Structure 1
Amino acid sequence: MSDKTMSLEDFAATIESGMTIGIGGWGSRRKPMALVRALLRTDVRDLTVVSLGGPDVGLLCAAGKVRRLVYGFVSLDSIALDPHFRAARQNGAIETAEYDEGMFVAGLQAAAQRLSFLPTRAGLASDVLTMNPSLRTVASPYDDEEYVAMPALRMDVALIHLNRADAAGNGQYLGPDPYFDDLYAMAADRCYLSCEEIVPTDRLLKDAPVQSLLVRRMYVTGVIEAPQGAHFTSCVPDYDRDETFQKEYAAAAKDPGAWRRFEETYLRGDESGYHAAVAGRQAAQSGTDVRSV
């Protein structure tokens, strides 16, 4: 099996302006935040982002990198809406296509199966069709039913984060929910998988059942080891969402000066600098010497 390991910097160098980027995870849960932060350090622009969104979408909107957003929701879970997304949506700074969650998943499934669309009942007789006038319905060839013809959500690149992977790109989740990361991987031309730990292949099934192997290596272009790579979202069972940090993020987003300070503290350096700043913040709050964190 080929070794697909790479650095965050090498990953970021493969992304070009104007691409369609799918981002796995769900809300503020198991988001590939290290990959998103790597994109923030580049000059890519005009991205189309496909996501059941959380702070991944918010940060990219705040950096002015999003031209169009395709989404089912953009939530921080314990905070209803990501504030940067809210501002971009209200100000008309981005184009949007908002779908019912069932429609969104149907679009991922269609793309994963290399179909142009899939029929679904989700969205029928709703304002989703009004707000997305390009959507069409289709008559069943077998009975009198009518369905929404949900177009495939094809992507140039998918970004996902899992608990473990091997160097070849076999990815494993250990938490309670796979979300739809496998569909993102199959629906994209290329998939980059970050993980908490890269392990030998034979270790993947040592402590977990075979059904935890969510992503097959054939769909993965590159593997990036990124401990705490989903922070500040959760990556259960490795860690829960950092609620204190998330509150700081959301509060800073409400004031331009506070946001500049947040960016300077956490987002101007590399990934190791980000984690050092987070550790320093945690140490200051707990009264611990940062050198011992």
Structure 2
Amino acid sequence: MSKLISLKQAISEYVNDGDVVYAAGFTHLIPFAAGHEIIRQGKKNLTLARATPDLIYDQMVAAGCAKKVIFSYMGNPGVGSLRIVRAALEKGELEWEEYSHFGMITRLQAGAAGLPFLPMNQTGATSLEQSNPLIKRIPDPYGGKDVIVVPALNPDVAIVHVQRADKNGNAHLWGIIGEQKEAAFAAQKVILTAEEIVDESVIRSDPNRTMIPANIVDAVCHVPYASHPSYSQGYYDRDNEFYLAWDKISESQESVKAYLDEWVYGVEDRAAYWEKLGAKTHDRLKVEAQYSEKINYGKY
């Protein structure tokens, strides 16, 4: 049965106030379109989890969607701080949990495996243990040095953007791979947004590239350009100019409100957003085709 629905419908049906939402993607394939739709629908009291919050969570916190953030690294990549999230944390307006990158991924791996926690080697980030009581040390039962343990993370909803998927939710992604697979397997519900919807035969032609299988997916949404200002390998480049611009926009509540009013509330969907960006931006973000070599899977 086809799981293909609009992003608007997917967010309405699968994201509820108070949910733990994991928007996956490491610098690449970040699901900005879904974040904007959550803002437009006025979802509240969300716990926003991400290994690298990026601008998507700055915007969602600015819009009043979040009560808590769970993260590892936090920042405007290559530019500086996430001004809005940082200010909310410093004012005590936002709850938070911080982990190392590996700690966050280990939490998702535990959740995906159905385990209550998983161990990891000690790190140099002992200050994280002091600030986060959920990071614990326990004795190695085999007599070695103590190990760090972190609790499982099972988001209510994982949102994953991919390059292509079939209508059932089998999904291909390539380029920089982040925590998409772990987040999807750990979550209770999975929303996929995809640059392209392709026939199942295309997915079957390269099964090793199927990072997300249909049996764990609840909704598939055809949303081209869903990761701008992030990028989708092979489709469009990262919009570095916007990352620099956001640093200035986020300096004042007035400019942030003006941005949200124009670029989130003021457009109906991602198609309207992309059109509004204009031909000059489209041309700037174009990428040249560069194909990998063919693989012969053989016939049997």
Give the alignment's TM-score, normalised by structure 2: 0.87
CA contact (8 A) 1:266 1:273 kept: no
Matches of 1:55 and 1:105, distance apart in 2: 20
Matches of 1:76 and 1:194, distance apart in 2: 23
| Alignment CA distance shift 1:122-1:275 (3 Å) | farther
Matches of 1:236 and 1:280, distance apart in 2: 20
Partner of 2:242: 245
* Aligned pairs for 1:138-149 within 5 A: 138-149=138-149
- Greater share of strand: 1
Partner of 1:290: none
Partner of 1:236: 233
Shift of 1:76: 2.9
CA contact (8 A) 2:48 2:70 kept: yes
Give the alignment's TM-score, normalised by structure 1: 0.89
Structure 1 runs (4+) greater than 6 angstroms displaced: none
* Structure 1 unaligned blocks of 5 or more: 286-293
Partner of 1:30: 29
CA contact (8 A) 1:102 1:122 kept: no
Matches of 1:87 and 1:101, distance apart in 2: 22
Matches of 1:194 and 1:117, distance apart in 2: 29
* Aligned pairs for 1:98-109 within 5 A: 98-109=98-109
CA contact (8 A) 2:22 2:159 kept: yes
State the SS of the aligned residue for 2:156.
strand
Partner of 2:268: 270
Q: Does 1:47 align with 2:46?
A: yes
Further displaced range: 146-155 or 244-253: 244-253
Partner of 1:260: 257
Q: Does 1:219 align with 2:216?
A: yes
CA contact (8 A) 1:107 1:118 kept: yes
CA contact (8 A) 2:62 2:256 kept: no
Q: Does 1:185 align with 2:189?
A: no
State the SS of the aligned residue for 1:239.
coil
Residues 244-265 of structure 1: per-residue CA shift (max 9 Å, x gap): 2222222111122222221222
Give % identity: 23
Partner of 2:150: 150
Shift of 1:56: 1.7
State the SS of the aligned residue for 1:162.
strand
CA contact (8 A) 1:124 1:148 kept: no
Matches of 2:109 and 2:237, distance apart in 1: 29
Matches of 2:117 and 2:257, distance apart in 1: 42
CA contact (8 A) 1:249 1:262 kept: no
CA contact (8 A) 1:107 1:150 kept: yes
Matches of 1:191 and 1:33, distance apart in 2: 16
Partner of 2:3: 4
Further displaced range: 51-60 or 123-132: 123-132
